[in-house]
C-alpha cells in the first residue's frame, strides 16, 4: 500500500468523477504519495494543524491493473524515495479514506486503523 494525504475538497470531487487528482498532478506532472513510514512527517511538514484532510490508502496492484504509472523517485529535500503517481487515481485503487486529525500540539498522528502497521 501507498498513501496520499488529500485535501477533503479533492476527495469529494473524486466521488463525483471516479478519479482522484490534485493540484500537484497538473503543476508537477504527478501526484505525490508516501510510504506508510513517511506519512506522519509529510503531514506535519505540509499540512500542519489542518483538519480538512483525509489519508487515502492506495493499492499499488490496482494502479498497475488500471495502467496508471507509478514509480518511486528520490526527493533530495527529504533524502528518501517517494511514490509518484503519473495519472489520476481510479477510485477502485483507493482501499479506504481515513480521517486524519491532529493530536498533541496540532501534530498529525497515524489514524488508529493503521497503528501497528509500520
* pLDDT at 103 (0 to 100): 66
pLDDT band at 118 (very low <50, low <70, confident <90, very high): low
**What secondary structure, in 3-state letters, does 58-106 show?**
ECHHHHHHCCCCEEEEEECCCCEEEEEECCCEEHHHEEEEEECCECHHH
Q: Which three cell numbers stand for residue 110?
A: 497515524
- Answer whether 0.85 is exceeded by the pTM: yes
Give the total residue count for the chain.
Answer: 118
Class of domain 2-108: alpha beta
pLDDT tens per residue across span 90-111 = 999 999 999 887 666 677 777 7
Give the whole-angstrom CA distance, residue 53 versus residue 55: 7
pLDDT at 110: 75
Nearest C-alpha neighbor of 2 from the set 31, 34, 28: 34
The CA radius of gyration of the chain, in Å to the nearest whole number, is 13
Q: What local confidence, expressed as pLDDT, does residue 109 receive?
A: 77
20-77: pLDDT as tens digits: 999 999 999 999 999 999 999 998 888 888 888 999 999 999 999 999 999 999 999 9
Amino acid at each position: 500500500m501507498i498513501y496520499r494525504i488529500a485535501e477533503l475538497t479533492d476527495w469529494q470531487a473524486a466521488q463525483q468523477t471516479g478519479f482522484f487528482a490534485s493540484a500537484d498532478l497538473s503543476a508537477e506532472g504527478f501526484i505525490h504519495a508516501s510510504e506508510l513510514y513517511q506519512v506522519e512527517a509529510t503531514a506535519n511538514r505540509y499540512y500542519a494543524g489542518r483538519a480538512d484532510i483525509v489519508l487515502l490508502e492506495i493499492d499499488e496492484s490496482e494502479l498497475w491493473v488500471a495502467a496508471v504509472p507509478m514509480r518511486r523517485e528520490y526527493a533530495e529535500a527529504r533524502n528518501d524515495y517517494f511514490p509518484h503517481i503519473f495519472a489520476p487515481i481510479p477510485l477502485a485503487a483507493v482501499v479506504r479514506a481515513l480521517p486524519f486529525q491532529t493530536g498533541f500540539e496540532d501534530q498529525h498522528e497515524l489514524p488508529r486503523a493503521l497503528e501497528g502497521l509500520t
